[in-house]
Structure 1
Amino acid sequence: MDVNEILSGLYSEQGRQNPYPWYAALHALGPVSAIPPRPEHRTVGAVAVGYDLVDAVLRDPEWRKGSPPGWQEQEILRTFMSSMMFTDPPEHTRMRAVFAKTFTPRRLGALEPVIARVVDTMLERMAESGAGGAEVDFVADFAYPVPALVMAEFIGLPEADLAWYRQRVDWIDEYMDVAGKTPERLALANRAAEELRVFYRDLIAHRRRRPGEDLISGLVEALDSGEVDLTEDELISNLIVLFNASFVTTVYMFSNGLPLLLAHPDTVAALPGDETLARGCVDEVLRMQSPVHFLARAAPRDTDLGDVPVRQGENVLLIIAGANRDPVRFPEPDRFDPRRDGPPSLAFGVGLHFCLGAAVSRLEGTVALPRLFARFPDLTVTRRPTYSGSLFLRGIDKLFVSTGG
C-alpha cells in the first residue's frame, strides 16, 4: 500500500475503530513518508511514525505550531490561539512560566489523598450500581468522574457544574477531530468557548472575593499582584484548554487501559500493593493506547526530514500513537509489558509543549488502578467497547462491565 491508501484506510470507520494496523503499514514504509499533494492535504507534506524522528521534531523549538487560517473570526480558535498549548515562543514561554509556578510539588503532593478519596467513593458507587450482577458503565461511573472530580478540586471548579461542563468539553473535542471541521461542529465549539469564558470570568471574580487553595486562586493571586505577565483573557483561555487536555486524556487512559489490563490477569492480580508495577502499567497503557494520536508541526525552512523533503511552512503529521509502537524502539510493540525497558512514551508529548498535567494523570493512574482491582478482583467486560470515533483524541466512551458482585 502507498501512503495515500494507508491514510484513506486510517480515516475510514474501520481505521477509526482500530488504527494500529494502519500505523504498522506506515512503519513498513519507513519512519517518515511524503504525502502526495491532494485537496484534503493541501498543507500537509509528510506523515511521521518513527519514534526518534517524532521525538526530535517535538523537541526542536524551530518546528512551530502555526496559526490556522481565519482563526481571529472564530471564538474557539481565538481561545486556542491565546493559550500556551497552541502558541509558539515567546508567547508560549511567557504563559507557561506562569502555570509552572503554580503546578508546585506541594500542590501535586496534596493531590494524592484527594485522588484516593475520590477513587474510593467511585468504587463504592460502582459496587452499589453493580450489585446482583448488574452491568456498570465503567466510563460513566469511574473513568470520567475520577479525573473530573480530581481536576475540579485541583483547579477549583464547583462539582455541581461538572455535568454542564462536560457537554462543552465534548463539543470542543468533537471539533478538534480530523473530521470535525464541519459548520455544525464549529458552531457548537464556538458556543462552548463563549459559555466557558463567561463561566471562568464569574469563577475568577468569586475567587477574588473568597480565595482558596486551588489552582485558580493561586493564579488569580499571582495575576492581581502583578508578579506575572498574563492577561485575564489569557488566563481564561489557558484554563479552558488545560482542563480539557488534563482530564479527557486521563478518562481515556482509564477506559482504554481496562480491557488491555484485563487481558493480563496475572498482572491485575499482582497490582494491589505493588506501586512499581502500577507505575509500569500506567506507562505501558499510555504507550499502547495513547489518548492523543497525532500532532502537527510546520517546517521552519525547506529541509529534509529523514529522506523526505519538506517545504518551509508545510506541516508534518506526527503520529504519536504510531511512534509509541515503533518496533525499532519497542521490540514486539504490540505486546503489553509493564516492566518494559526503553524510552518513555510520547503520550504527553516532549519539549516545549510537554503536558503540564502529565504528572497529575500518572499519579491518578498509579493510585487508582491498585484500588480498582483490590476492590473488584473479578471485574470483567460484558460488551464490546464503544470508541469515540475520533482520530485525534481516541478513546472508549462506553465500557460496560460486571463487578463480580
Structure 2
Amino acid sequence: MDLKVLLAEEGRTDPPAFYARLHRAGAAQAVDGAEQGFAVAVYGFEAAGQVLKDSRFHQLDAAYLDLHNPQWRRHQALEVLRDSMFFTDGPAHDGVRQLIGRTFTARRVAAMADAVTASTHRLLDRLDELSRGGPVDFMGEFAYLLPSSVMADALGVPQEDLAWFRPRVLAIGAILELDGATWKNMVRANTAARELTAYFTDLVALRRSDPRDDLISHLAATDLSDRQLVANLITTFNAGFVTTTHLLGNGLTMLLERPALRVALDQGNATSYVEEMVRFEPPVQILVRYAPEAAEIEGVPCRPGEAVLVMIGAANRDPRRFTDPDAFDPARPDPGSLSFGFGPHYCLGAALSRLEGEIAFPALFERFPDLALAAPLSRQPKPLILRGHDTLPVLCHGR
C-alpha cells in the first residue's frame, strides 16, 4: 500500500475511494516505503478488530518512542500523552482506566440524559439568537460546546473556561495526525501541554482543599502520582469531547445532504442514525499499534518494533462485513462498527457520545426544521486521524 496516496490531496479529500481499492486487495498489506514509519496496513473489518484486541500489539508507548525517537522527552506534549492511559498497556493502563471508568458506567451515563438535554436546548437557544445576524458556525457554537460542556461537568472543569480550552486541544490533536508532528505543530502542542498541565495542577489542588462530586475530586483522593493524575485529566477531557464534536459535525452534513432521511429522523430511531453516522464517517479514521515482538497479520509479517495502521474508516466499509458499505443507511440490516475501537482500549466515553448524538440531532431539527448550510461544503483535504470540519457555517430557521 502506498501511504503517500492516502496522505495526498486525493486521499484526504475522498478516503472512501482509496478504501474501496484496498478492499479489492484483501484485508491487510505491507506499506510501501519504510521511511513512512509504518510496516503494515490492516483494513478488513475482522482483521482490524483482531489487531485491536490482540495483546501482541501495543499502543505507541514510551518504549516505542525510545526506539524510534530517543529525544522525545524534550517535548512536553509527548510526555503528557505517554503518561496517560491512552498510550499505555497492561496494568499501567488497566488500573487508571478502572478508576476513570467509574464516571462513565452505563448507569451514570443514563443519569446524564437530563443534563445533556438541558445543555442541548440551551445551545439551541444560543444558535437561534446568534443566527439572527446571519450564518453561524455550527462547529464552534454547538458541536464543540455540547460535548465539552457535558465533559466539563463530569470532570469538574468550570464552564467559563471552555473557550480557553479549544485552541489548546486542537494544538495537541494536530500532532496525532500521521504527518502532523512537524516542528511548528510540536512547538504549539508543547505550549498547550504546559498550559494545560498548569491549569489542571491548580484545579487538582483546589479540589483537594474543597472536594466535590466530580472526577477530579475522586481521582485526587487516589494514589495516582500528580504527574499521572494531570496527564490523564488532560487526555480524558480532550478525548471526551473531540470525537463527539466531529460526530455532530459529520452527522449534520450527512443529514443535510439527504433530506428524506433528515425528515424521517425522530427520537425513536435516533440510535440507529447515530450508529450509522459513526460507521459511515468515523471521527477517528485510523488507529496505530506496534508489535514489540515479531507478529503476522493476514499473512503479512510485522517485525519487532514496527508500527501497524489500523484503518477504522476502511474497516467500517468492508464489503465482506457490510451490505452496500458506501451507502448511508440508518436502517441497514448489518449495523455496527469499529469507530469506538475494540478490545482493552475501547472508548470509555462511547455510551456518552452516542447519548449526546441521540438527543442532539432530533432536537436540532425539531427546533430548526429548515436548517441549511450557508455555503457548499468545502472540498479541501481534511485530517485522517481526527476527521471532521474545522468550521461549518449554517443558516438556522426556527419554528
Q: TM-score range by the shorter chain?
A: over 0.9
> How is 1:85-164 mapped onto 2 (pairs within 5 angstroms)?
85-131=86-132, 134-164=134-164
State the Cα distance separating 1:300 from its structure 2 match: 4.5
SS in 2 for 1:396: coil
Match of 2:232 in 1: 238
Counterpart amino acid of residue 259 in structure 1: T
| Alignment partner of 1:299 out of 273, 281, 291 | 291
Match of 2:186 in 1: 186
Q: Distance in 2 between matches of 1:342 and 1:311?
A: 35
SS in 2 for 1:317: strand
Q: Distance in 2 between matches of 1:126 and 1:161?
A: 20
Contact in 2 for aligned 1:123/1:372 (Cα 8 Å): yes
Contact in 2 for aligned 1:102/1:219 (Cα 8 Å): no
SS in 1 for 2:309: strand
State the Cα distance separating 1:218 from its structure 2 match: 2.2
Match of 2:311 in 1: 319
State the Cα distance separating 1:343 from its structure 2 match: 5.4
Which string of whole-angstrom CA distances, capped at 9 and with x for unpartnered residues, describes residues 292-328 of structure 1? 1111112243333112122222211111111011111
Match of 2:266 in 1: 272
Match of 1:255 in 2: 249
1:17 pairs with 2:17: no
Q: Which shows bigger deviation, 63-72 or 311-320?
A: 63-72
Contact in 2 for aligned 1:137/1:401 (Cα 8 Å): yes
Q: Distance in 1 between matches of 2:326 and 2:333?
A: 15
Contact in 2 for aligned 1:385/1:400 (Cα 8 Å): no
Contact in 1 for aligned 2:276/2:335 (Cα 8 Å): no
Indicate how the Cα distance of structure 1 residues 273 and 174 shifts in structure 2: closer, same or farther if over 3 A, else same. closer
State the Cα distance separating 1:388 from its structure 2 match: 7.5
SS in 2 for 1:298: strand
Match of 2:22 in 1: 26
Contact in 1 for aligned 2:247/2:278 (Cα 8 Å): yes
Which string of whole-angstrom CA distances, capped at 9 and with x for unpartnered residues, describes residues 170-190 of structure 1? 110112112211112111111
State the Cα distance separating 1:400 from its structure 2 match: 1.5
Q: Distance in 2 between matches of 1:108 and 1:206?
A: 26
Q: Distance in 1 between matches of 2:174 and 2:381?
A: 9
Unaligned runs of 5+ in 2: none
Contact in 2 for aligned 1:299/1:310 (Cα 8 Å): yes
Indicate how the Cα distance of structure 1 residues 388 and 174 shifts in structure 2: closer, same or farther if over 3 A, else same. farther
State the Cα distance separating 1:286 from its structure 2 match: 0.4
State the Cα distance separating 1:106 from its structure 2 match: 4.5
Match of 2:213 in 1: 213
State the Cα distance separating 1:139 from its structure 2 match: 1.0
Q: Distance in 2 between matches of 1:39 and 1:107?
A: 46
Q: Which shows bigger deviation, 312-321 or 93-102?
A: 93-102
Indicate how the Cα distance of structure 1 residues 364 and 11 shifts in structure 2: closer, same or farther if over 3 A, else same. same
Match of 2:368 in 1: 376
Indicate how the Cα distance of structure 1 residues 324 and 395 shifts in structure 2: closer, same or farther if over 3 A, else same. same
Match of 2:320 in 1: 328
Q: Distance in 1 between matches of 2:189 and 2:215?
A: 25
Q: Distance in 1 between matches of 2:212 and 2:106?
A: 17
Contact in 2 for aligned 1:54/1:323 (Cα 8 Å): yes
Q: Which shows bigger deviation, 255-264 or 196-205?
A: 255-264
Q: Distance in 1 between matches of 2:320 and 2:357?
A: 27
User: So what's the TM-score if we normalise by structure 1?
Assistant: 0.92
Unaligned runs of 5+ in 1: 224-228
Which string of whole-angstrom CA distances, capped at 9 and with x for unpartnered residues, describes residues 158-205 of structure 1? 111111111110110112112211112111111111111110011111
| Alignment partner of 2:385 out of 359, 370, 392 | 392
Contact in 2 for aligned 1:139/1:255 (Cα 8 Å): yes
SS in 2 for 1:398: coil
State the Cα distance separating 1:355 from its structure 2 match: 0.9
Indicate how the Cα distance of structure 1 residues 138 and 102 shifts in structure 2: closer, same or farther if over 3 A, else same. closer
1:40 pairs with 2:36: yes
Counterpart amino acid of residue 396 in structure 2: T
> How is 1:334-353 mapped onto 2 (pairs within 5 angstroms)?
334-342=326-334, 344-353=336-345
Indicate how the Cα distance of structure 1 residues 300 and 257 shifts in structure 2: closer, same or farther if over 3 A, else same. same
Indicate how the Cα distance of structure 1 residues 106 and 332 shifts in structure 2: closer, same or farther if over 3 A, else same. closer
Q: Distance in 1 between matches of 2:32 and 2:4?
A: 13
Q: Extract structure 1 runs of 4+ deviating beyond 6 A.
A: none
Q: Percent of aligned positions with the same letter in both sequences?
A: 41
State the Cα distance separating 1:91 from its structure 2 match: 0.9
Q: Which shows bigger deviation, 284-293 or 14-23?
A: 14-23
Q: Distance in 1 between matches of 2:245 and 2:311?
A: 20
Q: Which shows bigger deviation, 10-19 or 237-246?
A: 10-19
Q: Which shows bigger deviation, 9-18 or 103-112?
A: 103-112
Q: Distance in 1 between matches of 2:194 and 2:352?
A: 27
SS in 1 for 2:332: coil
Q: Distance in 2 between matches of 1:388 and 1:168?
A: 22
Q: Which shows bigger deviation, 65-74 or 292-301?
A: 65-74
Match of 2:357 in 1: 365
Q: Distance in 2 between matches of 1:348 and 1:198?
A: 30
SS in 2 for 1:176: coil
Which string of whole-angstrom CA distances, capped at 9 and with x for unpartnered residues, describes residues 265-302 of structure 1? 2332232342xx10111111100111111111122433
Q: Which shows bigger deviation, 339-348 or 323-332?
A: 339-348
Q: How many residues align?
A: 390
Match of 2:83 in 1: 82
Which string of whole-angstrom CA distances, capped at 9 and with x for unpartnered residues, describes residues 216-243 of structure 1? 122223x1xxxxx522211111111111
State the Cα distance separating 1:60 from its structure 2 match: 0.9
